[in-house]
Amino acid sequence: MREAGPGRDAPLAVRAVRGLRLTELGLGAAQLGNLYRNTSDAEAEATIDAAWEAGIRVFDTAPHYGLGLSERRLGAGLRERPRDHYVLSTKVGRLLEPSPERAHLQDDEGFVVPAAARRVRDYSRDGVLRSIEDSLARLGTDRIDIVYLHDPDEPEMFAQASSEGIGALIELREQGVVRAVGAGMNAAEPLAELIRRADVDLVMCAGRHSLLDHAATDELLPLAHDRGVGIVAAGVYNSGLLSRPRPDADARYDYLPAPQELLARTNRIADLCEEHGVTLPDAATQFPLANPAVVCAVVGVRGVDQVASLLTRYRTPIPDALWAALADAGLIPPSSPAKGSR
Ligand SMILES: NC(=O)c1ccc[n+]([C@@H]2O[C@H](COP(=O)([O-])OP(=O)(O)OC[C@H]3O[C@@H](n4cnc5c(N)ncnc54)[C@H](OP(=O)(O)O)[C@@H]3O)[C@@H](O)[C@H]2O)c1
């Protein structure tokens, strides 16, 4: 899948899957929906501009992120860009219904926005079609490239998403309305099940294929590779724990305060990174991309500085000896990353 090699000044490499060409890095726009803290319109715009200047051409959002704010900001930031030059993904499964009576409250799902809409979970055919229409309006575009079923975690949701929901998306793909379909989830096993059940193009695996979490290694990654389904690795910093050279004591893992055991393991990985002359985030940024099933790593950055450091992390050469030392210490699976795969 790889088309170009990395290097300190090299452009972002591109990987191809199912007719799409994705830059190895993508911008995750949950942060532009004010995840955890407020981000100004100006900072959101500057983040998108910096990502574009850096060569990033994959942009991921969802109605869930800031109750539509992320889609509106991303749409505005991309509006003047040539539409064929980037890949835009959003998600379905949460319809946004106006709730003006709650507008004086703050959203209670992690975003610093007024609770002026409520999320209604819906993976039905009608729900999928309506959600896409709403997203197109918020994004201010006439085309979305990839649509993911978003977080169908509960068994009933998964049953509907993996039959009616994915059926509706495949229909849209056949009509040429969208280019690729799949699902984005924080769990590896249901993504593997979806690949077994339906003709999906990509799945966004959030947090389960990272330097710290290898839940996708044994089943999802080889299955996707065998079937030619692209893995988009998201949450590669496990929502913050791997984002700094040393984890903060209050760092989050999977959106919650990280348990002590994970903090200790993260510090052991950071020790080995430093012994080999690189940082924890350097290794965390590159680890997912070393697996041949992975077509893109979508990272949640906000602000020009985080975009710049993301590119440095992506380009810093990582000695093979580090991967070997991590594997010897039992901190990453023995076979990963495949030597020379990046
Ligand atoms: N179910 C799904 O489909 C799903 C689930 C999760 C994520 N995603 C996608 O993946 C994207 C990223 O996932 P994520 O939000 O879980 O996060 P992540 O990429 O694992 O971590 C993002 C956090 O890392 C910190 N960070 C990033 N770059 C940094 C830098 N250069 N220096 C210091 N800190 C840095 C930021 O913290 P601060 O904000 O504190 O600065 C940011 O909030 C989302 O935006 C979304 O597009 C999809």
**Tens-digit pLDDT profile for residues 85-124:** 999 999 999 999 999 999 999 999 999 999 999 999 999 9
**Which atom of ligand 1 has the smallest separation from the CA of 234?**
10
The catalytic residue among 36, 65, 237, 314 is 65
Is 28 close to ligand 1, i.e. is its CB under 6 Å away? yes
The per-residue pLDDT for range 201-234, each reduced to its tens digit, is: 999 999 999 999 999 999 999 999 999 999 999 9
The per-residue pLDDT for range 120-132, each reduced to its tens digit, is: 999 999 999 999 9
Is 145 close to ligand 1, i.e. is its CB under 6 Å away? no
Query: Is residue 65 flagged as an active site residue?
Result: yes
Q: Determine the distance separating the centroid of ligand 1 and the alpha carbon of 250, expressed in angstroms.
A: 16
Q: What is the secondary structure of 91-124 as a DSSP string?
A: EESEEEEE-GGGTTSBPSSSB-SB--EEEEE--S
Tokens of 242: 């791997």
| Domain boundaries defined on the chain | 14-328
Is 204 close to ligand 1, i.e. is its CB under 6 Å away? yes
Q: Which CATH number fits domain 14-328: 1.10.3720.10, 3.40.50.1820, 3.20.20.100, 1.10.10.10?
A: 3.20.20.100
CB 238 within 8 A of CB 212: yes
Across the chain, mean pLDDT equals 94
Radius of gyration of the chain (CA): 19
Residue 265: pLDDT above 90?
yes
Of all protein residues, the one whose alpha carbon is nearest to atom 13 of ligand 1 is 235
Q: Using the 8-state DSSP alphabet, how is residue 243 labeled?
A: S
Q: Using the 8-state DSSP alphabet, how is residue 18 labeled?
A: T
Q: Determine the distance separating the centroid of ligand 1 and the alpha carbon of 31, expressed in angstroms.
A: 7
Place of tokens 């109750």: 67
